[in-house]
Structure 1
């Protein structure tokens, strides 16, 4: 450890130093030196991982947002700590004279010096330490179905577009898209979809590495309904099918369109706002839609909310294969389901075109009125599916519900 300051003492400086020292010693009795109050000049001996079972693992680098333990002397003297040019938050509850626990800021450094800077009194001390920026982390897309030549939006973290090593987005088929922009927070990419893009995972590459997405572009896995090859025929309401106004995302889709009052559960209009898929009536086999771990799976679909949506929930209700020719489960107070109410936080919701909706299967634990069912659904309940805009237990405003839905599927997270 060393100080950044340089002291050049000569000539008149010595006289000034003598006077300063005399004043310091005279005032010490009334105003103790700051280091004496804090415990002395700080010194780092080593840095280790905070996890107890790995406390013997000494480190000289760590990733953004990771927690480290600094071991040394007089660490209570430190009032500020910086990793490169990003300031860390110091919690005095996690600082003793010999140990300091700190979280590395989750911010991309603007200037990389590979040092920790510690302010103690009037001194700034340094310690060599490398903050590792993770590779890109693509997490989702605004819409997973985008035509060649159109712009797609990818969300995630650590999208670093270095001038010497530009950010790259590789679409399935090993074709590279043109990066239009990257957000200032490095969490959003706008990219033009290249000609020849296929179905599959997207790879994002930066100066810090590359990562393949868990989501699929133009996902074609495990469709339950797409209204081109898989429909809800056989149900009391198979849904109003359309392909134009708006233009479909991939062929036909189901449209919900009709007036809705804001009062909780007051409007009941299955003809305008629902479909029933009963596998037995539809001619499908007695097999669940998904046989994997539901705690690690999500329901996805593409949705276009055309008008301001301000009332009721989109209820997504899975039913066993044995359930057919009845809608009693919609409000029986026994059948858990998922509720999508994106307007609740702001009072209204609409989309600027098609968007991909993702709902964890673990969230399918509500009743029709928004109360908690206490447990989520199981695989044996995945033998039918009803969508119905109604209730949800949230008061809204009178509106016209106009939403279009396509490509309903259950896929791994």
Structure 2
């Protein structure tokens, strides 16, 4: 299978104006259009298969198969014809591993079985990664289960012992034109799946799972990346279901089932004074169940030249969520490291549309913006959030400027 990757803006140019108008009527927002990716199948025949077993991997869950995986990858990456690294049925134990690119041709990493981490979490040292794909292009990661077996690491963290920093389970650094589909990640140490510095990535139908009390186990984390879609996926974890970091642009999330977890978060931002902004983010058609937050924008109360703009949260259902709608620009644990207690991050043009359900706390909507940089262009439209068996919820705003449209429950607290 060969995929041609084009931005939605290119696709739109080839459509009739009537079709564009039809898309507009169906409420596809501008940021969503920019984040859509088109994958056109122009199959050019079967690829050459490199089976990790042929290179010495053992499907017994005990034997170290790291070297065998690397040999299979090296052979496939060096192939001038399209290639597939095949991980067949069975359980394969792999230590920290880096699959480096660029490769000579398009490449598929097909997993039918299960890949597990070493039983001793200290085997990773301070590397920060379990499985890292570095500088790969035109690649697909398809199927399989990846189990980081992090229960020992979590116990160490909770005990207050001296522990290693932990590793991300699956990471793509500087990837381009990548598809990730049908993957299941279990029991990550700190983050299930990370994109860093990537362009044009489609992530679909993945399942990211860790216990609700597992510390800092983010589901999907993206930063310094452009043109990413995350669709049709389930995230059940102990921290953010989706964490959106600095430098994220043109990001679409849709059909997400989130919970347990901490919801979808933009931030924390303002970690650094010189920090890239976040813009053109759309989250739609998703459900949050029993999460700490629904949709959150969070920044440290520190000086920063960062920003958040053009964000759409729409068509969402909240089920017993503690903070369904929240902006928190006063994040500063223990009031340490925040010399001014004001966030420099400028938040503007954020829309909350058709968000319904129940709040686990009476204050269902909390928009606390920077004392020195008020939020502007906030839009609330058709919001219906109740508290405990349909009783009224409340809202609280600070330095939040914007407009309200339609029925707003709880009552809008925005200033004009």
TM-score (normalised: structure 1): 0.23
Higher strand share: 2
Larger radius of gyration: 1
